[in-house]
Structure 1
Amino acid sequence: MADMRRLLSNSAGNMTEAWIGLYDQRDGIRTWYWSLPGVEFNEANWNEGEPNDIITENCGFINTIKWGDISCNRKLFFLCYKKNKTSEKFFLIEEEKTWLEAQSYCRDKHTDLSSGLDQLNDDQLKDVLPKNKNVFIGLFRDTWRWSDGSSFSFRHWNLMFNDEKYNSGQCAMTVFDDGGRWKNEDCTAKKPFICYDDNMILIQENKTWEEALRYCRTHYRDLVTISNLDEQRSVQQETQFASSPFVWMGLHYACTLDVWFWVTDEVLIFENWASELKIDDCDMSGAMQQEGEHKWVKENVSEKFNFICSKC
């Protein structure tokens, strides 16, 4: 949603709509995603016999603790998640809506539909779940892909979008006078278009520093590095949307040499440490504060935080 707000703020003149880099593969395999950006779909908790795709079922529900697939056009109660520091994070909305309507409601009133194993296994969520009732969660699948090859799960379709149709070969555009929501159209239509040069992504999963490093090197390029004030500002722009108090960077402490270094072997030129820091030890890495001035802090590598990967 942060990217959409930046896009809308930069829209110019009388341009009402523009192509974005999302297209629907004609022969692609449907892939499961989470609605909340940065949460990767890598494990599942399906009920026995699910997903069964009886009639094109591209959205997910939870019943007690197990998941199933269901038509996105069915109307169900749904679970919203709110990223905050209070004890109340999950909200059961006892209004029947389609999956897209539920997603729109959660993003408007809270943060998003409940997404990912960390949220769906949370004891607090179990306290609000109704018994033996299907409830929408932030799980969906489609054949849409980004032109830069990324697996980013964010979707912002208008409420008229047919999420039961797949392999259409169409392309997506954003409509500025509809809050930036997207619609699909034949790719041969001539429209204005939007380019971008974003080179990093916030992963809203809590991992140790070494787990984060492996994840970034497997899926992107590396943990993010910062060499000047402009890069610091770019990273903190992403950090403010993290769901953990700190966010891992590619900064590590070499105990034997008594020196801090970036994992890309870049020299530590620019620094932005907080005033009160832990004493260096052999298991420290660098993280950025999620709030405030986004200063750097030293944290034990076994701590689990969100992290930022560089893409190039």
Structure 2
Amino acid sequence: AAQSYCRKEHTDLVSGLDQFHYINENKTWTEAQQYCREKHTDLATVTNMKDMKRLISVSLGDIKEVWIGLYDQRNVNRAWYWSLPGVEFNKSQNCGIIWKDDSNFLKWGDLSCNDQHNFICYNGEKIVIWFSKNWTGAQSYCRANHTDLISGMKQLQDGEVNKGLNLMTANSRYIFIGLFSDTWRWSDGNSSSFRHWNLHTVILIKENKTWEDALNYCRENHHGLVTITDSDEQRLVQQIAQFASTPFVWTGLHYACTLDLWFWVSDEVVIYKNWNQDGPMDDCDMSGAMETGGKHQWFKKNDPEKFNFICSQHPPGE
């Protein structure tokens, strides 16, 4: 259960935060939707970054999550959208790319959103080329530093864009564009394509499980055991780890006995490291756990030991 944002009536006549009404009552999403429809218009629809920044700017004390009107309608076919709201698409891998075929023609396609490719940001009249991120990372970067991923036929048919695409595909076969598909819909029926997923959601599970049981739980209920690839992710995980009820929390770090190497179960390479230097030697059936206090270093622990654990939850559609 969580608090919620309702959309007020006649929102075409108001702007800014006046469009939204904060409901300081814990409800499930369905209960919040019913309440908003009875008392106001519907749960809030967020249609652009301006709306998003307005909502984020509101101080709600210790409240970290608030319901909005976006929900996953899994029994329907996926719909394709442009990342830039307001641009229509006429019309599994789920994220759009442009690529060059053997005849040197540029074509559209779709690949996994988790793949890393070059991408193009749009910034007013400027086209800016950046390199190697997954699709949601590329979208987030473009929105933070420019306007959005390049979206719509008008932008893609621009002469300068075509020059850039031809240049980029000479060295990188696939280029991400702002096209994606998902099964998410807005409660009020709005067709807005705007999404602003939290790319770094981690969830502390305060249950004591072996490493293997923790791995299975995270995969069944979320995405997987957490992966830590840099100091920013380390800080994020250690912030939530301090609330655990065990001295350590399991992570997705595991030792492959036959290969004699440590790896993340998400298939990320172990580059960033935060090991405790006084730990035991590598041995079979060992995995990595973070201490919940102290320096939050990583310790090698035997898989049968039972600790709390941290799951990762990627944006829907990935």
TM over 0.5: no
Question: How would you bin the TM-score normalised by the shorter chain?
Answer: 0.3 to 0.5
| Greater RCO structure (CA 8 Å; 6+ sep) | 1
Please identify which structure carries the higher helix content. Answer: 2
- Higher Rg of the two aligned structures: 2
Q: TM-score, normalised to structure 1's length?
A: 0.44
